[in-house]
Chain A
Amino acid sequence: MLQSRRRIRYALAGSAVATAVIASAQAQQPAAPAAAPVKLGIVSFLTGPAASPFGIPGRNGAEIVIEAFNSGKAPPPFDKVGLGGAKIEAKFVDEAGSAANVVTEYRNLVQRDQVDAVIGYVSSGSCLAVTPVAEELKALTVLYDCGTPRIFEEKARTYVFRVSPHATMDNVAAARYLLAKKKNLTSYSGLNQNYAWGQDSWRDFVGAMKALAPTVEADKVLFPKLFAGEYGAEVSTLLTSKSQALHTSFYDGDLEAFVYQEQTRGLDKRMTMIMTTGEAAIWRLRDKLPDGTIIGGRGANGPLAADTPINKWFQKIYTDRYNIPPTYPAYQMAQSLLGLKLAYEKAAKPGVKPTADEVAAAFKGIEFEGPAGHVKMALGDGHQGITETAYGIYRFNKQSREPEIVDIVRYPAECVNPPAGVDADKWIEEGMKGAKCN
């Protein structure tokens, strides 16, 4: 009696596993294609705390832009169907997990699922881990959000591209804007998360401030744990500081928690806050974000973007589908896909699918207009893009009950990005020589 019950259990378990295996095998077999479709792997955070601010907007941006490509409804010169006439099939993969997991999933995309290109990665750690593998497998890869300049500074790359500018320009522009708007600045403090992103952001900001205004000093330098959520001690420390400005590269969850907590204690009345990635949070914080906060968006994204037709198009299709305006990760994904499409179509000969080498050769050094402005693949031997950036001041419009960014200053790409062939860190250390600002 006991034996048969156990056998039933085993049988059930076995059939469940078998069904699942068969189902997944089916899921991987592509449907009979009309013209052979192009497969793209899109990787971003779909779970965990980085999903809501970066991973999901990136994923949504990919989804809506790919749909527009496939229906041929994107504005010229992006109006060909799919990529060079072949429809795009997208596979969305979660970036979560250790570097080992990320690399394993990357290999799965390229070798098991045989995608034609991979676009993704929010975390700089993921980007650094995946890049050598991309080069090893000769797989076309476009990094869309990660900020570290190291990718193209450490080694020359052939198959890896990044249309979105790296994070150096965020903090250099922040320093310039702050000094332009607060002429009587004597001291500033910093609140950044204690990991590579926060450390790099602070280092770049301090370096830029030293180069532009050597007499202004850094007072409190705070590095709370990533995703700490509770910043009471940090707020108290800042309340005891004499600084007039606070630099933070905090984003979404941590940023929101900090804003709620500091506002209750009136910190923003004592010092102006500079949020280098604040643009991603304005639609959620709304009237809770203090007026007068200096906002950056990792480029001229969202409300910082110029009012061009292509920007209007992107905002419309995104907002119509997802009921919230696109934030900078969505813009970065859109720009990455636009760049890939241009390169692909430049390399394609009629009726023949271009190889990864051909697309890579076409991608090098291209320039185009995207929703976030003019992109030039100028650094990293044509693999790293630069765009202009913009900073502004946040205001919550009480009549329309909508967030706005006013007092926008645009910084040309060559003003806030290092020149070709110069490492970003060194460029800042040596006083940002060769910056072409107007």
Chain B
Amino acid sequence: MLTSFAILTDGLVYAAYLFIVAIGLTLIFGVMKILNVAHGSFYAFGAYGAATAVGIYANADWPAALGFLFMLVLAMTIGLVMGIILERGLLRQVYGKDEVITVLVTYATFLILEDVIVLLWGPQSYAAYQPMVSAGNIEIGGLVLSNYDILLVAIAAALALLAYWSLKFTRYGWLLTTVIFDRETAAAFGVNVTLIYTVTFIIGAMLGALGGAVMAPKIAVTLGIGVEVIVLAFAVVAIGGMGSIEGALVGALIVGICRAAAVHLVPQLELFVIYGVMALVLVVRPYGLFVRAQPRKI
């Protein structure tokens, strides 16, 4: 009984982590059809930015909530700036070209940004644990849970709701949906696709940085944290379906719970879980879980 409860809570926390990390990527991928390898850099910059922010406010002795907000705002600002620079400066040059070229550009950018991190923050690791530790813990049903983990789940849920609401009820959301569905027809109807692209990329970058910022208090912020995140985010996007927010959510939940179950019950399988789930989902649903009906183009 305790184990089942633990599996559920652990699954939710891991799913929250995956979802926060993947939502920016699935947005960029769904709209622009770009596999943004530099998403790992957004995550890393967000984490390092958060570590710096925590350093600032911890020394200045701010109240925890204010400090946490500051951390998030700083990270998202970094994401905003990076998104603008990358989109305007680099991606514009390669829009018309083969999609694979764009992937190459984002990969080269990722390599460069990894070393920009070294130049800005040095090779040592940083700690940003204050928000997590000050949040304390709570005991539910015999299991001690970290309040920060619960906050993470809340943030992920809020992001999901925000994304859902924006897509269904705001003008930008409708335009986004049309561009995801069929870019050429949308452009033919007068939708400013270039502007949509820019805004989407920037939002994706901010979400990536936000992901890094909320995870920073839990982990050690060190070189290479962007690398593993990339493949996790890709996997969740592949499971959920291109450009589908619901898909990313469901994909994250499935992987999260399966992984938690593996750790508790059959630890040997933990290494295979995400790839096994991805392979299984793709075998059953070749276009991911939430595939949009695609018109057949003859």
A touching B, CB within 8 angstroms: yes
- A49 near B222 with CB under 8 A, answer yes
- List chain A residues, Cβ under 8 A from B115: 47
Q: Which of A106-114, A180-188, A222-230, A333-341 contacts B (4 or more CB under 8 A)?
A: A222-230
- List chain A residues, Cβ under 8 A from B224: 48-49, 227
Knowing A51-B123, A232-B149, A264-B137, say if A254 contacts B259 (CB, 8 Å): no
In the complex, what distance in Å separates the CA atom of A47 from the CA atom of B113? 13
In-complex Cβ contact of A260 among B9, B218, B267, B271 (8 A) = B218
Q: How far is the CB of A286 from chain B (nearest CB, A)?
A: 10
- B145 near A261 with CB under 8 A, answer no
- A225 near B267 with CB under 8 A, answer no
In the complex, what distance in Å separates the CA atom of A387 from the CA atom of B77? 52
Select from chain B the residue with minimum beta-carbon distance to A228: B228
- The CB with the most chain B CB atoms within 10 A, among A221, A239, A257, is that of A257
In-complex Cβ contact of B222 among A222, A230, A233, A253 (8 A) = A253
Knowing A240-B6, A264-B146, say if A52 contacts B125 (CB, 8 Å): yes
Knowing A260-B218, A264-B136, A264-B148, say if A232 contacts B13 (CB, 8 Å): yes
Chain A CB within 8 A of B293 CB = no
In the complex, what distance in Å separates the CA atom of A264 from the CA atom of B143? 13
Q: How far is the CB of A15 from chain B (nearest CB, A)?
A: 21
In the complex, what distance in Å separates the CA atom of A351 from the CA atom of B113? 49
Q: How far is the CB of A254 from chain B (nearest CB, A)?
A: 7
Chain A CB within 8 A of B31 CB = no
Chain A CB within 8 A of B84 CB = no
Select from chain A the residue with minimum beta-carbon distance to B17: A230
- B259 near A233 with CB under 8 A, answer yes
Contact flags A28-57 to B (C-beta < 8 A → 1, else 0)? 000000000000000000111101110010
- List chain A residues, Cβ under 8 A from B114: 47
- B9 near A52 with CB under 8 A, answer no
In the complex, what distance in Å separates the CA atom of A237 from the CA atom of B6? 8
- List chain B residues, Cβ under 8 A from A230: 14, 17, 215, 218-219
Chain B CB within 8 A of A431 CB = no
Chain A CB within 8 A of B132 CB = yes
- List chain B residues, Cβ under 8 A from A254: 220
- A51 near B223 with CB under 8 A, answer yes
In the complex, what distance in Å separates the CA atom of A257 from the CA atom of B47? 13
Q: How far is the CB of A243 from chain B (nearest CB, A)?
A: 15
- A256 near B124 with CB under 8 A, answer no
- B271 near A225 with CB under 8 A, answer yes
Majority SS of interface residues in chain B?
Answer: helix
Knowing A224-B270, A229-B225, A237-B6, say if A261 contacts B220 (CB, 8 Å): no
Q: How far is the CB of A414 from chain B (nearest CB, A)?
A: 36
Contact flags B1-24 to A (C-beta < 8 A → 1, else 0)? 011001101110110010000000
- List chain B residues, Cβ under 8 A from A52: 123-125, 222-223
- B123 near A56 with CB under 8 A, answer yes
Chain B CB within 8 A of A263 CB = yes
| CB proximity to A under 8 Å, residues B218-235 | 218-220, 222-225, 228
Select from chain A the residue with minimum beta-carbon distance to B268: A223
In the complex, what distance in Å separates the CA atom of A263 from the CA atom of B148? 12
Chain A CB within 8 A of B264 CB = yes
- The CB with the most chain A CB atoms within 10 A, among B149, B222, B264, is that of B222
- A261 near B146 with CB under 8 A, answer yes
Chain B CB within 8 A of A265 CB = yes
In the complex, what distance in Å separates the CA atom of A200 from the CA atom of B270? 18
Select from chain B the residue with minimum beta-carbon distance to A270: B144
Chain A CB within 8 A of B133 CB = yes
- A265 near B267 with CB under 8 A, answer no
- A252 near B145 with CB under 8 A, answer no
- B225 near A236 with CB under 8 A, answer no
In the complex, what distance in Å separates the CA atom of A116 from the CA atom of B14? 50
Contact flags B139-175 to A (C-beta < 8 A → 1, else 0)? 0000111101100000000000000000000000000
In the complex, what distance in Å separates the CA atom of A297 from the CA atom of B54? 30
- The CB with the most chain A CB atoms within 10 A, among B11, B217, B220, B224, is that of B220
In-complex Cβ contact of A252 among B6, B14, B125 (8 A) = B125
| CB proximity to B under 8 Å, residues A344-396 | none
- List chain B residues, Cβ under 8 A from A222: 263, 267
- B13 near A237 with CB under 8 A, answer no
- A233 near B263 with CB under 8 A, answer yes
- A264 near B124 with CB under 8 A, answer no
- List chain A residues, Cβ under 8 A from B215: 229-230
Q: How far is the CB of A198 from chain B (nearest CB, A)?
A: 12
In the complex, what distance in Å separates the CA atom of A282 from the CA atom of B14? 28
In-complex Cβ contact of A261 among B2, B124, B218 (8 A) = B218
Q: How far is the CB of B14 from chain A (nearest CB, A)?
A: 7
In-complex Cβ contact of B137 among A53, A220, A266 (8 A) = A266
Select from chain B the residue with minimum beta-carbon distance to A221: B267
- List chain A residues, Cβ under 8 A from B11: 233
- A253 near B127 with CB under 8 A, answer no
- List chain A residues, Cβ under 8 A from B277: none
- A223 near B123 with CB under 8 A, answer no
- List chain A residues, Cβ under 8 A from B219: 229-230, 253, 256-257, 260
Knowing A257-B218, A264-B136, say if A46 contacts B123 (CB, 8 Å): yes
- A284 near B118 with CB under 8 A, answer no
Chain A CB within 8 A of B260 CB = yes
Select from chain B the residue with minimum beta-carbon distance to A229: B219
Chain A CB within 8 A of B135 CB = yes
- B125 near A253 with CB under 8 A, answer yes
Select from chain B the residue with minimum beta-carbon distance to A230: B17
- List chain A residues, Cβ under 8 A from B57: none
- B271 near A194 with CB under 8 A, answer yes
- List chain B residues, Cβ under 8 A from A266: 137, 144
Select from chain A the residue with minimum beta-carbon distance to B6: A236
Q: How far is the CB of A252 from chain B (nearest CB, A)?
A: 7
Chain B CB within 8 A of A138 CB = no
Contact flags A234-255 to B (C-beta < 8 A → 1, else 0)? 1011011000000000001111
A223-B268, A225-B270 given; name 20 further pairs at CB < 8 Å: A52-B222, A223-B271, A224-B263, A227-B228, A228-B228, A229-B225, A232-B10, A233-B6, A233-B259, A233-B263, A236-B143, A236-B264, A239-B143, A240-B2, A254-B220, A257-B218, A263-B133, A264-B136, A265-B145, A266-B144
7 contacts between A and B (CB under 8 A): A225-B270, A236-B10, A236-B143, A260-B129, A260-B219, A264-B135, A264-B148
Contact residues of A with B, CB < 8 Å? 46-49, 51-53, 56, 194, 220-225, 227-230, 232-234, 236-237, 239-240, 252-257, 260-261, 263-266, 284, 288
- What are the 4 A-B residue pairs with the smallest beta carbon separation, nearest first? A256-B220, A233-B10, A233-B263, A253-B220
